[in-house]
Amino acid sequence: MIPSAYKRVLSIAPTRQPLLGATIGRLPFAAGALAMVLLVQGATGSFAEAGLVNACYSLGAAVGLPAQGRIVDRVGQTSVISAAAVVNSLALVALVALAEGDAAVGPMAAAAAIAGLTVPPLGTCIRTLWSELVPDYALRQSAFALDAVTVEVAFIAGPLLIALVIGLASPAAGVLTNVGLSVLGSAVFVASRASREWRGEAHDLGIAGPLRSVGILILMSTSLGIGVAVAAIELGMTALATEHDARALAGALIAAQAAGSLVGGLGYGSRSWGPDAGRRLMLFALIMAVTTLPLLFASSLPSAFVLMLISGVALAPTVSVLYTLLDSAAPRGTATEATGWVLTAFVVGVSAGTGLAGAAVAASGPHAGIAVGVAGAALTVGVAWLGRGRLEGRAAARTPPAPAVP
């Protein structure tokens, strides 16, 4: 059953097409690493080289998202998304050609980096549109929650779809399917009237842009902690499944957490919330940390499935509140770039979490990797607690007053 708040958001006609486009476009982003790693590993025989190529893609995305966001804030969405979709597609097709042609790892890494730099910024752009498409502050929080839910849907459906394509055809077919989905999602998004008419505002913040805002730095740090937590737990759970001779179930364990997040997001968006978003971010971050802690004691795969489901419940609500606060913390004229910086912080957190958890697993086993994830969740709580006052003040300044009761 769709919560009534979500129905109200979707009843606003201009929201539907960009949301559909962003959802389609997120499928390949969610499944990109799976197809790319298997493509390069099949060509080189080395998971290390496959990891290097995928790291170049991630690094490119970390740089490209805020850079594209700055351009979007100045010239609009449609031209930037269209150009990015073209270059991104060509780079990924080139990567497939290089891999199928047994090229050296260097050219493949370069193609992956270009593909990462030009990932179509659908996620940053849809989150920027909510402020104009949903003027009611309370309902806009449900819109951000709905947005977070579609991300979880993408991270469940995307890898499953691409795994099916790879199983029936090849990793190359998986990468090319991602290309098709990216182009389709971008086309649907830029064809929407809301995207075509959106325009940013001029600002005089200099080269630092939204990074001059303490609120943005707080939210970036929060996002980094979430990235560390998600990535380290995924790696630790993959190691746990491997330790139990069931590596094939690692994806299902990760999907269980995403399913829990989906349920949490649906619940969060189904009710109205007050303007105290700073304290609410701390609350949901704390719930995320507390529900992550029992994963340290998962001793069997059945218990791991249940605990992963529970650990995901607060994830989508935490992300939803984060973007509600970003909506008010971003200096005027920098909304898309600010969103890009928050996503970049998440990507950096994912990279750090993967690296730290990998070293911990190698040294002490799966639960040490999970402990890195718990530390990431604790970092999120700490940052949210320390920054709650400043975030509350910024949100209060941007929140419209409630209508007077006659």
Q: Kindly state whether residues 58 and 21 are assigned to the same domain.
A: yes
Half-sphere exposure of 342 (CA within 13 A, CB side): 31
Q: Kindly state whether residues 186 and 293 are assigned to the same domain.
A: no
| Domain end residue (candidates: 142, 168, 198) | 198
- Give, as one character, the DSSP assignment of residue 338: H
Q: Kindly state whether residues 190 and 214 are assigned to the same domain.
A: no
Domain assignment present for residue 221? The answer is yes
Q: Kindly state whether residues 170 and 246 are assigned to the same domain.
A: no
Q: Kindly state whether residues 186 and 216 are assigned to the same domain.
A: no
Domain assignment present for residue 241? The answer is yes
Structure tokens at 296: 């340290």
Q: Kindly state whether residues 99 and 246 are assigned to the same domain.
A: no
Q: Kindly state whether residues 185 and 239 are assigned to the same domain.
A: no
Residue 402: the pLDDT is 41
**Residue type for position 386:** L
Q: Kindly state whether residues 248 and 217 are assigned to the same domain.
A: yes
Domain assignment present for residue 143? The answer is no
Residue 405: the pLDDT is 33
Domain assignment present for residue 119? The answer is yes
Domain assignment present for residue 142? The answer is no
Residue 394: the pLDDT is 55
Sequential pLDDT tens for the chain (406 residues): 677 888 899 999 999 999 999 999 999 887 777 788 889 888 888 877 888 888 889 889 989 999 999 999 888 999 999 999 999 999 999 999 999 998 999 999 999 999 999 999 998 999 889 888 998 888 888 888 888 888 888 888 888 888 888 889 898 999 999 999 999 999 999 999 999 998 877 666 677 778 888 999 999 999 999 999 998 998 888 888 888 888 767 778 888 898 999 999 888 887 777 778 889 999 999 999 999 999 999 989 999 999 999 999 999 999 999 988 988 888 888 888 999 999 999 989 988 888 888 888 888 889 999 999 999 999 999 999 998 888 865 554 555 444 333 3
Residue 204: the pLDDT is 66
Cβ 295 vs Cβ 174: under 8 Å: no
Domain assignment present for residue 403? The answer is no
- CA dihedral of 197, 203, 209, 210, whole degrees rounded to 10: -70
Domain assignment present for residue 141? The answer is no
Domain assignment present for residue 113? The answer is yes
Cβ 78 vs Cβ 190: under 8 Å: yes
Counting the structural domains of the chain, the total is 2
CB neighbours of 78 closer than 8 A, spacing ≥ 6? 190, 195, 196
Q: Kindly state whether residues 314 and 281 are assigned to the same domain.
A: yes
Q: CATH no. for residue 55?
A: 1.20.1250.20
Q: Kindly state whether residues 130 and 155 are assigned to the same domain.
A: yes
Q: Kindly state whether residues 193 and 272 are assigned to the same domain.
A: no
Cβ 310 vs Cβ 298: under 8 Å: no
- CA dihedral of 176, 182, 184, 185, whole degrees rounded to 10: 160
Domain of residue 241, residue span: 209-398
Q: Kindly state whether residues 93 and 158 are assigned to the same domain.
A: yes
Whether the CA torsion 105, 107, 112, 116 is positive or negative: it is positive
Of 141, 78, 112, the C-alpha closest to 276 is 141
